[in-house]
A and B are shown apart, each in its own frame.
Chain A
Amino acid sequence: MPRSETRHYSEEELLMHLLQEETPEAGENIAGHVRECGECNAVLREYELVVARILRWGLCDLSAEVWDADRVRLLEQFRRDQSWLERRGVLRTLMRGFESTWSYALENPLPTLGYIVVAFAFASERTITFLKLDRVVPATSEVIEIIRQFF
């Protein structure tokens, strides 16, 4: 991410740099900053140590006997989990959709504003016209007054 200001990088950004998950341009910026900034350099060194320790951990393979003993139970558990996931599918999809929409809105507030204005104005106009609500909706001056009080 190009920056117009020099500032310390967050731990998250430094960790991404360590794992080489950022863009090449951002990588160059962070590397340049870390060379000159003692504070960020110290954080980066600390993360290097942590990552090195994690990589040193060894995991032993389970034996065939252990797998056989637990096979039926694990299979049953897997089926239960799957059916539960299927039941929760719609909700999970909605939640994921909401989360991704929210993330998009946070990154792009101005386009979001445009989409919302167009969508709600269209929906409002259609609702009023279709249901013939123009006889009961408040007067323009009343709507202005209500909005004025909210802001």
Chain B
Amino acid sequence: MENTGRLSAREFLEDIRLVVTSPASRFPVIQERRALWGSLLLLIGPEYFAFAWWGGIFFDHDPVPGYSFIIPILPAAVVALLKVFGVHLVARLLEGRGRYTRGTGRFRSLLVVFGYAGIPQIMVIVLGLLLIALIPASLGSAFLNLRVIVISLMVGLSIGIFIWHLILMVLALRTVYPMRDYKSVIAIIGGPLLVAVPTMSLMLIAGDASVDLAQVKPILSERLLHFMSAEETEQPGTKPKFPLHVDWIVYRFKQPQRFDLVIYRRTPAGPSQNKERRSGLMIGLRTLWMPHLKGDEAVGRILGLPGDRIELIGGGVSINGRPLQEPYLLPEYQASFSYEPGVLGASDYLILPEDRHMVAAMADRLVVPRARIFGRAIVRKWPVGWFWFRSSAFAMPAG
């Protein structure tokens, strides 16, 4: 075979199959072919789905056709390449015994093979999506009931997939850096840690906010809800959470708009009054990185803007005498409530929960000052929102 750097689709699929079945003999072949696109596709592909929400940053609608599909490629490529470069840097230093220039492994050579080492991750993502999409809803509920078995299986699968992934990465590094396996393991673990700061910085632009599942239940798709329980059945005293994708920067450049689904703090700034459990390594790291998240974040829809005259009568909302049309609201989440009319302050917003049955319980917290609104939930249909949300969640009033 000539080392032309070319790779046909058939060869690519054959590479994937053989990396799964006999990786030790396939990685040298992939390395010798020196084709980049297959590996880059496998590297950036999974990251693309992690950043699929980036198309919803700042803009309410796609400014150009296809914008939502194209934009996530940028952060996905940056993160994927940064990770590989981190691994390369550490591996080259270890190979050169502390001196980068003494090592021989090249970054391009690592790029050629490293994507194939991510096949276990991709298989997990694909199988997970198929599981959610195809298995009957009743089986999804059974997942919640057979808790010990499901957790045990997940523990076993996670460790197994991690080791498999590690094995493939070591085999990939073997073809580039002539050094002992334990050094490869150090590079694989140390490399991503080295670039963790720039990678995590992206979370400051758009990331997850952990909100009460009950608050987002009205907008989540039925299929997704089959795998979640909004009741306190699993752990009494704690409310099930849901990671909602949030644009953290939009309100630095423009003011919140009517019908925006926003993330806001329930309590004034200062030490959190919320006594809810906020532990765990990942949650702890997230709180460290984003100190404004205090664990009492709520999600709701802005209906009244500063200066608006608001009326809440019989479950309907009137703004400046005009009743609002809310096509995104399903009948089962509508409720009847009435309050005295009033005028919003210069920096106050009227925010109602998507489940209007909650309005009565939070009647004194419906008016939220601007300072406590700090992010907009990304509810974008494409490329993956159609799977995540109900179709009604995308319905917006005309005009």
Contacts and interface: CB of A to CB of B under 8 A. Distances in A.
Interface of A: 1, 3-8, 10, 102, 105-107, 109-110, 112-114, 116-122, 124-125, 128-129, 134, 137-151
Given A7-B1, A102-B181, A120-B156, A151 B29 contact: no
Given A102-B181, A109-B23, A150-B158, A124 B151 contact: yes
Nearest to A134: B148
Contact of B157 (A1, A121, A122, A142): A121
Contacts of A129: 148
B228 interface: yes
B282 A113 contact: no
B163 A116 contact: yes
Contacts of B399: none
A135 to B, nearest CB: 9
Interface residues of B, number: 50
Interface string B144-156: 1001111111111
A142 B213 CA distance: 12
Nearest to B124: A151
B113 to A, nearest CB: 14
Contacts of B159: 116-117, 120
Nearest to B30: A5
Q: Which 9 A-B pairs have the closest CB atoms?
A: A121-B156, A139-B234, A125-B152, A120-B156, A116-B160, A124-B152, A117-B160, A117-B156, A124-B155
B280 A146 contact: yes
Interface in B360-382: none
Give the secondary structure class of A's interface: helix
A32 to B, nearest CB: 16
A134 B146 CA distance: 11
A5 B164 contact: no
Interface string B233-261: 01100101101000000000000000000
A151 to B, nearest CB: 6
A122 B228 CA distance: 25
Contacts of B206: none
Contact of B163 (A7, A113, A134): A113
A125 B157 contact: no
Given A112-B164, A128-B151, A134-B148, A141 B280 contact: no
Given A5-B29, A140-B150, A107 B24 contact: yes
Which of B20, B121, B164, B229 counts the most A-chain CB atoms under 10 A from its CB?
Answer: B164
A139 B164 contact: no
Given A124-B152, A137-B151, A140-B147, A113 B161 contact: yes
A112 B165 CA distance: 11
Contact of A106 (B124, B144, B167, B213): B167
A146 B280 CA distance: 9
Contact of A128 (B32, B148, B157, B168): B148
B156 A7 contact: no
A47 to B, nearest CB: 18
Contacts of A124: 151-152, 155-156
A106 B167 CA distance: 6
Nearest to B46: A151
A149 B50 CA distance: 10
Which of A105, A124, A141, A143 counts the most B-chain CB atoms under 10 A from its CB?
Answer: A141
A139 B240 contact: yes
B302 to A, nearest CB: 27
A3 B28 CA distance: 11
B150 A106 contact: no
A88 B374 CA distance: 61
A109 B161 CA distance: 10
A5 B160 contact: no
Nearest to A133: B148
Contact of A141 (B124, B157, B162, B228): B228
Nearest to B243: A145
A120 B155 contact: yes
Given A113-B160, A120-B155, A121-B157, A149 B150 contact: no
Contacts of A147: 154, 158
B147 A110 contact: no
